[in-house]
Amino acid sequence: VAVEDQPDVSAVLSAYNQQGDPTLYEEYYSGLKHFIECSLDCHRAELSQLFYPLFVHMYLELVYNQHESEAKSFFERFHGDQECYYQDDLRVLSSLTKKEHMKGNETMLDFRTSKFVLRISRDSYQLLKRHLQEKQNNQIWNIVQEHLYIDIFDGMPRSKQQIDAMVGSLAGEAKREANKAKVFFGLLKEPEFDVPLDDEDEEGENEEGKPKKKKPKKDSVGSKSKKQDPNAPPQNRIPLPELKDSDKLDRVMNMKEAARRVRLGPECLPSICFYTFLNAYQGLTAVDITDDSSMIVGGFADSTVRVWSVTPKKLRSVKTAADLSLIDKESDDVLERIMDEKTASELKILYGHSGPVYGTSFSPDRNYLLSCSEDGTVRLWSLQTFTCLVGYKGHNYPVWDTQFSPYGYYFVSGGHDRVARLWATDHYQPLRIFAGHLADVTCTRFHPNSNYIATGSADRTIRLWDVLNGNCVRIFTGHKGPIHSLAFSPNGRFLATGATDGRVLLWDIGHGLMVGELKGHTDTIYALRFSRDGEILASGSMDNTVRLWDAVKAFEDLETDDFTTATGHINLPENSQDLLLGTYMTKSTPVVHLHFTRRNLLLAAGAYSSQ
């Protein structure tokens, strides 16, 4: 087991020693290719999945045993047969032409240590086994035994479309076992407290101001707070911070805003307010907006973090200690008095990182801000003093993303070292390390109940991790490029993911299944957000557009029966066009971030690029 955890390079590569005759490799491969292409249609699609992993392993075997010319000719003869979505991997592969090159290449080591997973029906597998054993084609059979994991299911073989939807990641598909664990995707119960009525509410902006007492206010937040969601985790499954008075006040504000929320739908699309960063020659690399939409932060390639107030209320720092001691602590407006008017400004610049800032996240209570950078650190900044409180060092390489838990206190980060880490603001060391991805962790997101974390990676998979024990409970494959955006639906049941392949994929977390594919974008999707009640999914991309999708329709009448879950026979409806509610172009601004305000106004952000 130790060898698998930390692959010792020579041990891993020595698996390539039991080699066959190098001059026959092309013959072996073309023999198998001929067999698969001549097999029945129903088996051909499934068996074609073998082409890519066998091609890679046979090529690496030739290179490792220093048959360089045979390797070169093998590569040139067959690399054109591989699926288009493996192009980037093949480019890396073509540069590995000598045994020495293999030692320093992590991607290839991973390919070697982790078994490539294929899902094949029993009939197709029997056919393959019989062929290889008749032919005495031991070289290929050895590779199949040694390096591939064939997940055999009983039932009909899958069609080309069904397979294409699910494959494309670095290590093949997920084993069916990987998505069997129970996931508590329900929401936690909201604490109960009464909503005091303001005077203005009683006078009422609406005419029937009088009858609108506490009752409807509460219901408008949804009666979900009354009874426990059957799919929710136990309230104390992971310790969450206590609500402070200021948090309660904020919840009350939130409920009031929610009462004025616009109900969105195909007939009622949100207005979109776009924040364009002009002259951002420092290079905008990350954006976040507070939940109450009062502040916006930008992370820049020049290593600065810039915070703006987007309301008329300016950003102010707390006074110095000497001045604070003069204040009467009993006065009613003490919170107002501690702020230093002289420091009021619309923009604060935070210096501290020594490399581009790739991720930013406000704490839910708006007291703190996280930023992560190419310099390998995550920094926690105070929004009271606009200074850095802590630098968390754990990643030795660039950190691509970070995010606060919806309940504050915990946060997650993911980076080039291929792991995600869970932190608490008051600990120097991470509380959990989530290891399993085969390439950079490019984006990280908390589930609304804070018990799970989703990570997207350059290995083209999305994993869902349990915060309690650090286990990986879901592996989603299907994207054909690195993942750059994740969004959970507000009810916690679904996950939307976007990647460099320009597709948005939708996943049912409970069943561990892909349930939809939204096609339309022509470039990487950097931003995904569900509206506050989950009726609309907004996506923002490098193609300079924001697109709105009908989330209700996308998730209704899903076929999530046990059969589908067991075999992965997913039938995705080709209905992207029916689900697309609108496309909004910017002049020349890639969309980096999206945010729905509490009243369902959509805010978008990006930096104008003058190409």
Q: Where in the chain is the domain with CATH 2.130.10.10?
A: 272-324+335-558+572-597
> What pLDDT shows up at residue 20?
64
With contact defined as beta carbons under 8 Å apart, do 373 and 413 qualify? no
Burial class (CB in 10 A: 0-12, 13-18, 19+), 457: buried
Q: What are the tokens at 378?
A: 């995550």
Point out the least confidently predicted range of 14-28, 138-152, 155-169, 325-339. Answer: 14-28
pLDDT confidence band for 15 (50 / 70 / 90): low
In one-letter notation, the amino acid at residue 553 is K
Of the segments 10-14, 211-215, 403-407, which one has the largest average pLDDT value? 403-407
Of the segments 188-197, 252-261, 315-324, 333-342, which one has the largest average pLDDT value? 252-261
Alpha-carbon gap, residue 592 to 546, rounded angstroms: 10
List CB contacts of 559: < 8 A, sequence separation 6 or more: 571
Alpha-carbon gap, residue 3 to 439, rounded angstroms: 19
Which residue is listed with tokens 């390919």? 111
Q: Where in the chain is the domain with CATH 1.25.40.500?
A: 19-173
Average pLDDT, stretch 270-277? 93
pLDDT confidence band for 560 (50 / 70 / 90): low
Burial class (CB in 10 A: 0-12, 13-18, 19+), 572: middle
Residue 301 neighbours by CB distance under 10 Å: 17
Which residue is listed with tokens 């192009």? 87
> What pLDDT shows up at residue 469?
93
- Helix, strand, or coil (residue 571): coil
> What pLDDT shows up at residue 16?
58
In the predicted model, what is the mean pLDDT of the chain?
84
pLDDT confidence band for 193 (50 / 70 / 90): low
> What pLDDT shows up at residue 543?
94
Alpha-carbon distances, residue 440 vs 117, 412, 416, 524, 575 (angstroms): 20, 15, 4, 17, 32
Which residue has better confidence, 210 or 226?
226
State the first-to-last Cα distance of the chain, in angstroms, to the nearest integer: 52
The pLDDT of residue 525 is above 90: yes
> What pLDDT shows up at residue 212?
39
With contact defined as beta carbons under 8 Å apart, do 324 and 318 qualify? yes
> What pLDDT shows up at residue 211?
39
HSE value, Cβ hemisphere, 13 Å, CA-based, for 521 = 30
Q: Which percentage of the chain shows pLDDT scores above 90?
A: 44
Topology classification of domain 272-324+335-558+572-597: Methylamine Dehydrogenase; Chain H (2.130.10)
pLDDT, tens digit, for every residue of 485-508? Answer: 999 999 999 999 999 999 999 999
With contact defined as beta carbons under 8 Å apart, do 306 and 292 qualify? no
Average pLDDT, stretch 121-126? 90
pLDDT confidence band for 90 (50 / 70 / 90): confident
Average pLDDT, stretch 556-579? 68
- Helix, strand, or coil (residue 192): coil
Label the pairing between strands 536-541 and 545-550: antiparallel
3-state SS, 461-474, equals EEEEEECCCCCEEE
pLDDT, tens digit, for every residue of 435-487? Answer: 999 899 999 999 999 999 999 999 999 999 999 999 999 999 999 999 999 99
The pLDDT of residue 165 is above 60: yes
Alpha-carbon gap, residue 519 to 292, rounded angstroms: 31
With contact defined as beta carbons under 8 Å apart, do 216 and 209 qualify? no
> What pLDDT shows up at residue 361?
97
Average pLDDT, stretch 552-571? 67
509-530 burial, b at 16+ Cβ within 10 Å, e below that, comes to bbbbbbbbbbebbeebbbbbbb
Alpha-carbon gap, residue 317 to 336, rounded angstroms: 11
Alpha-carbon gap, residue 456 to 484, rounded angstroms: 7
pLDDT, tens digit, for every residue of 21-74? Answer: 777 788 888 888 888 888 888 888 889 888 888 888 888 888 888 888 888 998
Average pLDDT, stretch 335-351? 85
Topology classification of domain 19-173: 1.25.40
24-62 burial, b at 16+ Cβ within 10 Å, e below that, comes to ebbebbebbbebbeebeeebebbbbbbbbbbbbbbbbbb
DSSP 414-476: EETTSEEEEEETT-SS-SEEEE--SS-EEEEEE-TTSSEEEEEETTSEEEEEETTT--EEEEE
